[in-house]
Structure 1
Amino acid sequence: MMEPKDLPLPRRIGQFLMNFVLEGMLRLALALPYERRVPLAGWLVSRIVAPLAGWRRRIRTNLAHAWPDLPGDEVERLVRAVPDNAGRALIEMYSGDDLKARVRQVTPEGPGWAVVKEAHAEGRPIFFLSGHFGNYDAARSLVAMEFGEIGALYRPLNNVYFNRHYVEAMTTVARPLFPRGRRGLAEMMKYVRKGRFVAILNDQHFGHGAPLTFFGRTAYTALSIPEIAMKLDALIVPAYAIRQPDGLSFRVVFEEPIPHTSPEEVGQALNDSLERRVRDNPGQWLWLHRRWKPGPAGPDARTG
């Protein structure tokens, strides 16, 4: 894993300063009671970080590309709502014990939950697939509290200073963690072979992935998890923690497992599952991702 000493000096200074600001904001929020901390973090990210980081422009660009018929007033609402949810989810992750106290009050929903309990009793592995939607850590913590633990495959952040405390915060929600890459994937495989559960976010651009669709647009999608799941006879269960109107509580929904057909069909079914959730609650998905970047096949294109 990259360390600060591995970076060119200008990049190292830039990352240090960015982490200094963001970590300061986190510490400020963490000094407050949870019920005030979470909305404050949402406000800080939406009103300060988002405009400075160019997030508002990126959200508008993605919406124009994927959802061009969305009314202008709804676009402007999402420009504020998306970073607000991101800020809340971030501080909730840094508030592991408080988040888990909230999640303990949640009754799991959806047809997949009974299947999950049955699989646990049989020692059958499960991949819980979700996206950067609602607060995925709420779903992860619920599974961990019910069954003892749940692994997670994660992508280390580009900012090496921020990544240090970010990973530490993730472990307070649930563990173990496996960084993306050859070594992390091998460790995850060994873990899954023991009949364990792993949570994965599968909604980011993957340049060498399959040209599937998301919101009717070509979205290059990684198929490694469907391939592994089919090889190991692991269940693939879409799982979502949906933020409720109070901004603090969640519904946690476990959908029916995705049938093992082909990796491409499984990947598309997962994209379609997430799209339905995003259409129902568009302010809860991270519209900051460059989800529709071109892949090896050429420029991104509209389909259908």
Structure 2
Amino acid sequence: MTKPKNKGRTWSDWLTDKVLRAVIIGTKILPYDQRVPIMGTLTSRLIAPMAGYIKRADKNLAYIYPDMTLQDRQRIARAVANNAGRTIIETYSPKGLMQKAKTSTVSGLGLEALQNAKLQGKPVLLVTGHYGNHEAPRYALTAMGYEIGGLYRPMANQFFNEHYANTMADISGPVFAQGRRGTAGFVKYLKQGGIAVLLFDIYTRKGVTLPFLGKPAPTALSAADLALKYNAILIPFFGKRREDGLTFDIQLDAPIDHTSPEQMLTEMNTRLEKRIHENPEQWFWIHRRWRKKVR
């Protein structure tokens, strides 16, 4: 057999997907409160090392925190993988995640702005990063009666994405896959006064270079562009995982002022950076955020 040539369809991707499928199926047999921590452990000890995620997280940490010891980097990298595993199985367990989201606290200056926008029928863009569980805030707000749509980026591992995409099923509002058709649907939903979620902390080849954690990072301006074009309220929100590993503190920050796209994204980065510095183990250091510098 020849090695697949398509990006996202290598034998490493195939093997990682098969292991993940087996682990997901196996852990879903267990009660929710057991499957989440077990999936976190299996990911940090088996899947992440096999896929090279621990090594990549370590390199990213060394790039941003050059004075951090190897021991601390390794500890954080393993915690990152644990959180990633928990997030994956939580996404595959929507009923359980919804129950935990209902018990999570929701606070922040952005909550009142969201409530007012809903009453007035104004479009809202809720922007977030891969921090804690980035889906938890949407579940928590859904439990409060909000309809929230979303635009998601297909995963690089195409084998895994084929079944992961099914977990993006509508729990509140419509969910669109990034691409021409999906983006068009997302924009239409927003224009009609919808509330929608967009992640902004992923490497974008054609993005504008802005500082992120003190290093230049290509950044998509799409969230700011949409907010300006459709006069949408731009609210950063985050789902920090609590120490129990199962519930979250959901915080909606004050809305970001409409200025220039670059200034707005810089402010969004600043809001996320603050949380990363406070709890680095909760951000997805596995991403190639500074791709040309860290491989």
3-state DSSP of counterpart to 2:135: helix
Q: What do residues 23-51 of structure 1 show as CA deviations (whole Å, max 9, x unaligned)?
A: 11001111101111000000010000111
3-state DSSP of counterpart to 1:119: helix
Q: What do residues 31-90 of structure 1 show as CA deviations (whole Å, max 9, x unaligned)?
A: 101111000000010000111111111111101111212243321210210000000011
Question: Structure 1 counterpart of 2:155, which letter?
Answer: L
CA–CA separation in structure 1 for the residues paired with 2:170 and 2:118 = 23
Match of 1:239 in 2: 237
3-state DSSP of counterpart to 1:200: strand
Question: Structure 1 counterpart of 2:163, which letter?
Answer: H
1:23-102 matches, within 5 Å, as: 23-102=21-100
3-state DSSP of counterpart to 2:217: strand
Match of 1:20 in 2: 18
Match of 1:3 in 2: none
CA–CA separation in structure 2 for the residues paired with 1:25 and 1:149 = 32
| Percent pairwise identity | 39
CA–CA separation in structure 1 for the residues paired with 2:107 and 2:146 = 19
Question: Structure 2 counterpart of 1:183, which letter?
Answer: R
Match of 1:129 in 2: 127
The Cα shift of 1:108 comes to: 0.9
TM normalised by structure 1 equals 0.90
Q: What do residues 246-279 of structure 1 show as CA deviations (whole Å, max 9, x unaligned)?
A: 1111100000001001000001001111100111
Change (3 A) 1:173 1:280: farther
The answer to whether the aligner puts 1:179 opposite 2:177 as a matched pair is yes
The Cα shift of 1:14 comes to: 6.0
Decide which of 191, 194, 197 is 1:196's aligned counterpart: 194
| Contact map agreement 2:9 2:158 (CA 8 A) in 1 | no
- How large is the RMSD of aligned CA atoms in angstroms? 2.0
The Cα shift of 1:11 comes to: 4.1
Structure 1 unmatched runs, 5+: 1-5
Structure 1, 164-173 or 253-262: larger mean CA deviation: 164-173
| Contact map agreement 2:16 2:51 (CA 8 A) in 1 | no
3-state DSSP of counterpart to 2:44: helix
Decide which of 164, 167, 172 is 2:165's aligned counterpart: 167
The Cα shift of 1:12 comes to: 7.4
Decide which of 99, 105, 111 is 1:107's aligned counterpart: 105
Decide which of 270, 275, 290 is 1:272's aligned counterpart: 270
The Cα shift of 1:234 comes to: 0.2
Q: What do residues 90-110 of structure 1 show as CA deviations (whole Å, max 9, x unaligned)?
A: 101111001101111123111
Structure 2 unmatched runs, 5+: none
TM normalised by structure 2 equals 0.93
| Contact map agreement 1:96 1:172 (CA 8 A) in 2 | no
User: Would you say how many aligned residue pairs link Structure 1 and Structure 2?
Assistant: 290
Q: Which runs of 4+ in 1 moved over 3 A?
A: 10-18, 158-161, 172-175
The Cα shift of 1:183 comes to: 1.5
Question: Structure 1 counterpart of 2:93, which letter?
Answer: S
| Contact map agreement 2:19 2:47 (CA 8 A) in 1 | no
CA–CA separation in structure 2 for the residues paired with 1:67 and 1:153 = 31
